[in-house]
Amino acid sequence: MEHVNIPPANHVKVLGGQGWVGLIDHLGSETTIVNAARVSFGKIKQEMDERDIKLLEYLIANHHTSPLEHMVFTFSIHCPLFVRGQWHRHRTWSYNEISRRYTEVDIECYTPEKLRRQAENNRQASVAAPDFDDHKEIELIRQHNLKSMELYNALLDAGVCREQARGVLPQNMMVTFWGTVDLNNLLKFFELRDSDHAQWEIREYAVAMKKLIRPIVPHVAEYFERQGQIW
């Protein structure tokens, strides 16, 4: 049996290699999408041709999105708790996550490689600060992560149960979860999370997922690239 914290073969590393997202499985293809659209006419085909590509583009352009819901992707995601918090707001995904009630092993924490400054014109945003001499602050974060782990382990050693001891673990703790979503709602996720408005960390995951699914939905990707949207 493999550990869930080991990335699947088909994965992309993010956050300087500390996080990753992998594609576990997918259901359907672009042919499935056009066939789903053609169910209305009582017809299906086995392979895509030029007319099908046009139909696919027509569906997307006209927000005829229900055929896109017949393609489904399952990802394995290894990310800090604060990214997971943002991710789980997307209610159209199904989630399963490693439980810190069951296990206390393999806990690791994220330490950013570069710190950003608070944006002045947007209360929730940040700005890159290449001139920021952040070594001291990054080291403070690393030390805080370590101290949190020490306290967690001390509580377990003292006999405190895992479900209460985990309360002292920081937002930087890495979690691993599976997320399953249909293509329509995955595209909505890309629109929201690979955006200037989204936090850089979750944006890294959105970009990585696009890389993972591009070979599976090449014409969908090309359509959005041509429009200068989403992809």
Ligand X SMILES: Cc1cc2nc3c(=O)[nH]c(=O)nc-3n(C[C@H](O)[C@H](O)[C@H](O)COP(=O)(O)OP(=O)(O)OC[C@H]3O[C@@H](n4cnc5c(N)ncnc54)[C@H](O)[C@@H]3O)c2cc1C
Total residues at the site for ligand X (CB under 6 A)?
9
Q: Does 192 bind ligand X (CB under 6 A)?
A: yes
Separation of alpha carbons 193 and 26, rounded Å: 21
Q: Pick between residue 57 and residue 191 the one whose CB is nearest to ligand X.
A: 191
Separation of alpha carbons 181 and 1, rounded Å: 25
Q: How far is the CB of 196 from ligand X (least distance, A)?
A: 9
Per-residue binding letters, 82-121, with ligand X (x by CB under 6 A): -------xxxx-----------------------------
Run of H or E including 175: strand 174-182
In order of 30, 211, 221, the CA distances from 215 in angstroms are 11, 8, 9
**What 3-state class would DSSP assign to 76?**
strand
Selected catalytic residue, list 84, 166, 193, 203: 193
Q: How far is the CB of 185 from ligand X (least distance, A)?
A: 5
Contact criterion met (CB below 8 Å) for 82 and 92? no
Q: Pick between residue 35 and residue 74 the one whose CB is nearest to ligand X.
A: 74
Q: Does 198 bind ligand X (CB under 6 A)?
A: yes
Work out the burial of residue 3: count CB atoms within 10 Å of its CB; fewer than 13 is exposed, 13-18 middle, 19 or more buried.
exposed
Per-residue binding letters, 38-67, with ligand X (x by CB under 6 A): ------------------------------
Q: Does 153 bind ligand X (CB under 6 A)?
A: no
Separation of alpha carbons 110 and 20, rounded Å: 12
Stretch that binds ligand X, among 97-105, 130-138, 185-193, 203-211 (CB under 6 A): 185-193
In order of 38, 51, 122, 199, the CA distances from 108 in angstroms are 48, 50, 31, 21
Choose, by CB under 6 A, the member of 144, 188, 214, 219 that binds ligand X. 188
The verdict on whether 193 is a catalytic residue reads yes
Q: Name which of 16, 17, 37 is nearest 28 in CA terms.
A: 37
Separation of alpha carbons 29 and 217, rounded Å: 7
Separation of alpha carbons 37 and 21, rounded Å: 30
Q: Pick between residue 98 and residue 192 the one whose CB is nearest to ligand X.
A: 192
Q: Pick between residue 92 and residue 229 the one whose CB is nearest to ligand X.
A: 92
Q: How far is the CB of 29 from ligand X (least distance, A)?
A: 23
Q: Pick between residue 128 and residue 161 the one whose CB is nearest to ligand X.
A: 128
Active site (catalytic) residues: 193
Per CB under 6 A, residues contacting ligand X are 89-92, 185, 188, 192, 197-198
